[in-house]
Amino acid sequence: MKRRINLWSFVYVLVCSGLFFLLSITSFFTLMKRLLGVNPYDILLALSACSFIFGAFGFVGVSDWKTTLRSVTTVVIGLLLTVVLSFIVFMGKLFE
C-alpha cells in the first residue's frame, strides 16, 4: 500500500502539472470557468496541495533509489506547483 501511494502521488502530480499547463496556455480556462462557475486555478490548487501531501506520505514507502527519486520529484514538483498556484490565486483575488 505504501508503495502504491508513492506511485499514485507521482502520477497525480504529473496530471496536475499537465492541467496547469493546459489551463495557462489554451483557452480551456474560460471554458472551465464558464462550465464550473468557479476559478479552475482554485480547484487545481487544492488538487496540487493534495498531491504534495500524498507525496510526503510516499516517503514512508521508500525502499530503493528509484522510489526515493520518485518521492523527491513528487514533493518538489508538488511544492513548486502549489506555490505558483497560490501566487496566481492570491493575485487573482487581489485584483478582482
**What's the total number of domains in the chain?**
1
Which pLDDT tens digit goes with each residue over 59-74?
Answer: 887 888 888 898 899 9
Which pLDDT tens digit goes with each residue over 3-36?
Answer: 688 888 999 999 999 999 988 887 777 887 888 8
Flag whether pLDDT at 1 surpasses 70. Answer: no
Q: Calculate the alpha carbon distances from 55 to 6, 28, 36 in Å.
A: 6, 27, 28
Reported pTM: 0.85
Structural domain containing residue 70? 2-94
Q: How many residues are present in the chain?
A: 96
Measured distance CA(26)–CA(49) in Å, rounded: 23
pLDDT for residue 27: 79
Q: By the 8 A CB rule, do 74 and 10 touch?
A: yes
